[in-house]
Amino acid sequence: MIRSQGRKAVHDTQLYFKNCCPTRRLLEPLLYRFITTDKYSDGRSSPSSLFRRQSENRSPPDSHKRPSEKRNTPPRPSSSYDKPGHRPTQRDAEGQQPPKRLLTPYNLAMQLKRLCSEGNYDAAVDRLKSTPRDAQNVKVWNTMISECLEAKRFSLAYDLFTDMKRRGFSPNTLTYTTMFSGLTRITAWSTHSKQLANAHSLYEYFLKHTESIKYHEPDNIKELSPQPIALYIRILGDAGEYQKIFDVYFAMDQEGPLAPDKFVFTSMFNAISARPAGSMEDQELSISMRAASDAKHVWMQMEKVMQKKPDFDLDPLLIAAAIRALTRGRPNDQNFAFEIVRDHLGLAKPGEPVPQGFSKKLNAWTLDAALQLCNVMQKHRLCIHFMRQVMDKVSFERPWMRNLLDHNHVHKLLRAYVGLSTLGSIDESSQALEALEWSLKNDAIYTLPKLAPSPQSYHLVMMTCWRSADWVGAVRAFELMTGIMASDFHVNGGKAPPSVQRRSNGRSFYPDAETMSYMLRTALKTNDLSCLRQAMWLTEHAGVESLLRTRDKTPQFYRAKFSSALMETIDRLLDGEEIDEDQRRRWRGWRIQAREVARNSKGSPTPEAEEQILGSDGAVGNMDEFVAFQMVSRSSKSRK
């Protein structure tokens, strides 16, 4: 092998092979592959490029020969490298293949997600366990556990949690968060006792994990997070283990990164509000545990944590959960909830100063909880007062206010009107109708689908009109709901069908048995034959036989109410009106069908709106006196 150290040696070697070597064309590439060792960095051409240009300029050595004297080279046999689409193996300068690309944890995680998306969870688990350990890490195992939990493969997820520890991968806080978050998907814990035991074991493992982190890495705030505990409390609440919730709470650190945060308190309030009243566990709790399980006590504990942690975030979700939990408590707890509404939401009672703007804590969740509190305590006028404050201040031209009100808040307002109409008030139906028209107006102007009235909205207005015996208001609500112009009855005398307004899709709702039951009951309550004739005319247009036979989503209770109201309406009209024989025969046939439907609908459950027992003003006053007595007695005991 010739080695050269300079350009002159290269030039001499070139001349030698040019004049002496007959196979110089074959050796030139090989020669300069080995003798050209320096890299010409000064911008001049290298020897190989020079000789390449010289070879291109020279004529081929065999070009002077005759065609008959040219060498007949046999064709080279075809190989796989000549096939189209074949990519030969790339080699480096020394003729060796490059090293193969190793499998990274990210690529492995993507493979597992692709297999899980295809439903091959067992194949994904086998793929994970068969890969080299260098391609695995805790994030890959967390990904596989998360995919199994999303598919509700809870046992497989816990097996993976156990297997990852056997293989030397220590679960981190994200692992426990993933496990607890997946277990919250379980709703019927009575049939998942094994998974509940696994949740208890995961909690114990997490406590050991936090103790290890506090000893070895006390500054690792990411691993010292109470989020898994908040999810575990939520599981305990869903499973009905309420006493253990407070055991977990009292076992938490009162200071530091593992102290209770807003998520922990929110989970506790949600568990208290979802607790069934009069459960057997209440009888087993001691007096101290009953005090600890009180929502008001939990709020006091939260205020202590807020004093120790100035950066504690009292967000609207936490306030809404606390109000809902206090709503299910004793009367003094409910009055304490009103204090929270005043101090944190800025909703003032009548006679109190009203703030100029909205509180930052007032949103759709907190407002809904405050209105529900008023209706549960049967303070319907206060519910109307709070809702009117918001309706007067809201400006839907501002985008951030468009999510403040929706049809659920309007339903709370309409239920308050229903409650007041039961007490004998006569103006509630017109105010309920104004609230309904306000929703329709703002939805039409600002396009607010969440504020658009639903069939339940119209039915609540009709219920208010029925309790107030307001037939005019019921007809107006019926026209707004269906687009059927019921007022045409006074024009044609019921001899022609009513006209129907043409509206866009979703703006009209066809009347069902519940709708017509309210119309017939309202007409019956007026004791006016003209109202009965108009109600019967609308019922015929809606289709009596279809309303009696159709078994749609309408509760059986309203089918029974419609049948009984229809029979009573027909009886009154037959007794007080002159009806031709054909119409009399048709009405009697409908009466027979209605009697059969009413007989078959006996014992059907009563909806909440119908069975609500609304108290009187005296009952509300007695409740206020009881609350005042309890507050005075408690304050006197504390002084002693």
Closest CA to 362 of 323, 417, 411: 323
pLDDT at 248 over 50: yes
pLDDT in tens, 521-576: 999 999 999 999 999 999 999 999 999 887 767 888 999 999 999 999 999 998 87
**Alpha-carbon Rg for the chain in angstroms:** 41
Average pLDDT, rounded, for the chain: 82
Q: What pairs with residue 484 in β-bridges? A: 500
Confidence of residue 405 (pLDDT cuts 50, 70, 90): very high
- Whole-number pLDDT of residue 192: 94
The string of pLDDT tens digits covering residues 83-106 is 444 445 555 555 666 667 789 999
Residue 494, Ramachandran bin (φ over 0: left; ψ between -120 and 50: alpha; else beta): left
The answer to whether position 506 is within a domain reads: no
**Taking phi first (over 0 means left), then psi (-120 to 50 degrees means alpha), and beta for anything else, what does residue 180 get?**
alpha
Instruction: Report the percentage of the chain scoring pLDDT > 90.
Output: 60
| pLDDT beyond 90 at 121 | yes
Q: Among 367-381, 448-462, 617-631, which stretch is predicted with the lowest mean pLDDT?
A: 617-631
pLDDT at 353 over 50: yes
Instruction: Output the pLDDT for position 28.
Output: 52
Query: Is residue 31 in some structural domain?
Result: yes
pLDDT of 129-155, one tens digit each? 999 999 999 999 999 999 999 999 999
The CA-based angle 385-607-542, given to 5 degrees, is 95
Q: Is 32 a domain residue?
A: yes
What is the helix (H) or strand (E) element at residue 418, kind and residue range? helix 407-422
What average pLDDT score do residues 15-22 get?
58
pLDDT band at 427 (very low <50, low <70, confident <90, very high): confident
Amino acid 611: pLDDT: 63
User: What per-residue confidence (pLDDT) applies to 615?
Assistant: 45
Does 22 fall in a domain?
A: yes
Cα gap 570→298, rounded to integer Å = 58
| 47 within domain boundaries | yes
Q: Is the pLDDT of residue 40 over 80?
A: no
The single residue listed with the structure tokens 């201040």 is 393
What are the pLDDT digits (tens) for 597-611?
Answer: 998 887 778 887 776
Confidence check: pLDDT of 440 > 90: yes
Two tokens at 161? 């949690």
pLDDT at 320 over 70: yes
- Which structural domain, as residue segments, surrounds residue 13? 1-54
In a domain, 176, yes or no: no
- 471-482 and 529-542 helices, crossing angle to 10°: 20
- Whether residue 45 lies inside any domain: the answer is yes
**pLDDT given for residue 332 in this prediction:** 86
Whether the per-residue pLDDT at 228 is higher than 90: the answer is: yes
Residue 173 has pLDDT above 90, yes or no: yes
How would residue 63 be classed by pLDDT, with cut points 50, 70 and 90? very low
What local confidence, expressed as pLDDT, does residue 400 receive?
87
- Asked if residue 291 has pLDDT above 90, the reply is no
- Up-side HSE of residue 478: CA atoms within 13 Å toward CB? 32
Q: Which two tokens stand for residue 389?
A: 């404050």
Among the listed ranges 28-37, 161-170, 587-596, which one has the minimum average pLDDT value? 28-37
- Evaluate whether residue 615 is within a structural domain: no
Are the CB atoms for 312 and 265 separated by under 8 Å? no
- pLDDT number for residue 580: 84
pLDDT at 473: 95
Q: DSSP assignment, residue 500?
A: B
Q: Assign 3-state DSSP to the chain and report helix, strand, coil percentages, each to 5.
A: 65, 0, 35
Look at residue 10 in the predicted model and tell me its pLDDT: 58
Question: How sure is the predictor about 452, in pLDDT bands with cuts at 50, 70 and 90?
Answer: very high
pTM of the model: 0.76
Number of folded domains that form the chain:
1
9 pLDDT tier (thresholds 50, 70, 90): low
Say yes or no to pLDDT of 577 above 90. Answer: no
Whether residue 240 is predicted with pLDDT greater than 60 in this model: the reply is yes
Interatomic CA distance for residues 348 and 603, integer angstroms: 44
Average pLDDT over residues 442-451: 93
Q: Give the model confidence (pLDDT) of 259-290 as tens digits.
A: 999 999 999 999 998 887 654 444 444 443 45
pLDDT at 627: 47
